[in-house]
Structure 1
Amino acid sequence: MTSKLSLRIIGLALCCAAAALSLGTTQGQAQSVVVMVNGEPITNFDIDQRSKLNRMSHKADSRQQVLEDLIDEKVKIKEAKKYGVNPSDSDIDSSFSTMASRMRMSTAQMTNMLAAQGIRPDTLKSRIRAEMVWASLVRGRFKDSLQVSEREVQAQLKGGDDTKAVESFEYQLRPVVMIVSRGSVSESLDARRKEAEQLRGRISSCAEADRVFKAMPNAAIRGIVIKTSADLPPALREILDKTPVGHLTPPEVTKQGIEMVALCERKQSTADTPRKREIREKLFGEKFQAKSKEYLQEVRKAAMIEYR
């Protein structure tokens, strides 16, 4: 009896030892170094993590491409540190939080979403850090060569048949809200909308709008807001261009209630038109990408990259 029990204990011990050895081998393979970049390792685990993150973004990069991207990030961060570009952990956390907000999630929800895919938050934060420091470094070091001149913008506009492309306006606006309590019946909302339409037909100056809405219960008029054509979405720009100065835009139902905008002034401006801003941003993006690629190649040549 004792002999059989001893054999079982020995067998169990051997199984546990084998399992531990197997686990240790698996973990060792995952953490094995694939390449050293300026003395810093990139492991199989790093490659696996980034591959999972890429799949979440619907990027089907090969393992080699993922490795090359990780090498690029290592050299970018080292080069940035050389010039004092080194964001703090709180800066990276803030950017991580902003990314979560754009996806309409909290930081915790974003972390949980990544964890569900087997991805550590640090994997995404490392990518954020590399993108942040590189953009800052390239913009700072090559600021002059990245500038887009008015001549370059005009060359892109030349030959276009859109006359609005060369017109820009500055608008002085006063937003107005006629408050409707949440959960109000549709009849109350309709009545408030009809009241807004009546006021819209009657008011013909911002001074009058100021007087009327300040005296009206459950209503408010805000201070002057100045916007240019390029600052506004196309739909609002079109409405403002059709609205006579001093009058109100058509009422719109929002969470607050009924909202309108009093157009106090509209005048031509030398600021960029929406089309010119679009061209300027496109040209800047092209220059930035070209300079970034050239600079990265230069930095990689000078880096110590040792494949294992």
Structure 2
Amino acid sequence: MTTKFLFRILGLALFCAVAVGGGLGVATAQSVAVMVNGEPITNFDIEQRSKLDRLSRASRTRQQVLDELIDEKVKIREGKKYGVSPSDSDIESSFSTMSSRMRMSPDQMTKMLSAQGIRPETLKSKIKAEMVWASLVRGRFKDSLLVGEKDIQAQLGAKGGDEPATTESFEYQLRPVVLIVSRGSDSSALEARRKEAESLRSRVQSCADADRIFKALPNTAIRSTVVKTSADLPQALREILDKTPVGQMTAPEATKQGIEMVALCSRKPTTADTPKKREIRDKLFAEKFQAKSKEYLREVRNAAMIEVR
């Protein structure tokens, strides 16, 4: 959830101007605006977070930005009380994930932020606070955040969710296969491997067949068995798998790696969430999480020593 939220903040960054004008003098920028439990928030911190806001064309007042920074200070402090402190590698990993979703490397992300006059630590400190807080809320209030089956059934009933398409769920055992095509190959090479895949696909009547055929084939990889439920898969893929006979393979598709297919080893009914139930469960959990998060934050902030300079 944290990564998704932060990515939304930065998602429009490439549409913003490369340069952000102006800047505070050193003395002014480093002057303390607020002390939170003995830790300073400087005017420079506020200016940095405001610049980060502008990447998403957000418009917040200085006080709103300051309130967010105060919240982050009390979140970090509360985390330390319970031994919740993400490592540097955890934060770097989250930063890297955000970068890749924006089709950048971490270095490119850092350069993009620097071009806007933003230190990468400004974003990383935000990441850290959200990671700490998510772990705290989930850990301390996990029982009250549970979503019961009654709640889900009530929502299904209210939305007319009794039709078979929303109440049936399957567990799939899958063996992904890739016929590798080197990057930079022309379309004829891709088409040749597609035809090869179609020919081999017709010979597969079980996952044992797939294992035997594709393990012996050069420049081909057959993955270990993957187990997924209906709720784990996008609708388009579920529809394909539901139409594929057990033991056979899905139609070849071109990907970055080459030509890919999936051998369907088994498909059996399961009591796991259907896609609709998973959607409702996630929605109800998010609502509970947000409510508990606001209540908890209000408590720790009221107990904090906040001194405005």
Q: Could you state the TM-score of these two structures normalised by the residue count of structure 1?
A: 0.84
Deviations 1:60-107 (A, max 9, x none): 111111011111111111122112222333433333233223323222
Is structure 2 residue 40 aligned with structure 1 residue 41? yes
Structure 1 120/210 Cα, relative in aligned 2: closer, same or farther at 3 Å?
A: closer
Which residue of structure 1 aligns with residue 63 of structure 2? Answer: 64
Instruction: Please list every run of 5 or more consecutive structure 1 residues that lacks an aligned counterpart in the other structure.
Output: 1-24
> How far apart are residue 216 of structure 1 and its match?
4.0
Instruction: State how many pairs are aligned.
Output: 284
Once the two structures are superposed, the pairs formed by residues 133-144 of structure 1 within 5 Å of their partners are 133-144=132-143
Identity %: 76
Residue identity in the other structure for 1:110: M
Residue identity in the other structure for 1:231: D
Between stretches 141-150 and 85-94, larger displacement belongs to: 85-94
CA distance in 1 between counterparts of 2:44 and 2:112 reads: 19
Once the two structures are superposed, the pairs formed by residues 1-308 of structure 1 within 5 Å of their partners are 26-158=25-157, 159-160=160-161, 162-308=163-309
- Secondary structure of the structure 1 residue equivalent to 2:161: coil
- Secondary structure of the structure 2 residue equivalent to 1:124: helix
Structure 1 79/211 Cα, relative in aligned 2: closer, same or farther at 3 Å?
A: closer
Residue identity in the other structure for 1:287: K
Q: Which has the higher helix share?
A: 1
- Secondary structure of the structure 2 residue equivalent to 1:236: helix
Between stretches 49-58 and 104-113, larger displacement belongs to: 104-113
- Secondary structure of the structure 2 residue equivalent to 1:177: strand
CA distance in 2 between counterparts of 1:243 and 1:197 reads: 15
Deviations 1:32-71 (A, max 9, x none): 2222211222221111111001111332111111011111
Structure 1 131/253 Cα, relative in aligned 2: closer, same or farther at 3 Å?
A: same
CA distance in 2 between counterparts of 1:303 and 1:218 reads: 61
CA contact (8 A) 2:246 2:266 kept: yes
CA contact (8 A) 2:204 2:210 kept: yes
Residue identity in the other structure for 2:83: G
Instruction: Please list every run of 5 or more consecutive structure 2 residues that lacks an aligned counterpart in the other structure.
Output: 1-23
- Secondary structure of the structure 2 residue equivalent to 1:29: helix
CA distance in 2 between counterparts of 1:35 and 1:184 reads: 59
Structure 1 185/91 Cα, relative in aligned 2: closer, same or farther at 3 Å?
A: closer
> How far apart are residue 249 of structure 1 and its match?
0.7
Q: CA RMSD in A?
A: 2.1
Deviations 1:273-296 (A, max 9, x none): 122111111111100100010111
Structure 1 186/103 Cα, relative in aligned 2: closer, same or farther at 3 Å?
A: closer
CA distance in 1 between counterparts of 2:108 and 2:239 reads: 39
Structure 1 241/215 Cα, relative in aligned 2: closer, same or farther at 3 Å?
A: same
> How far apart are residue 122 of structure 1 and its match?
1.7
Structure 1 243/293 Cα, relative in aligned 2: closer, same or farther at 3 Å?
A: same
> How far apart are residue 253 of structure 1 and its match?
1.7
CA distance in 2 between counterparts of 1:220 and 1:299 reads: 53
- Secondary structure of the structure 1 residue equivalent to 2:76: helix
Residue identity in the other structure for 1:189: L
> How far apart are residue 217 of structure 1 and its match?
4.3
Q: Which has the larger radius of gyration?
A: 1
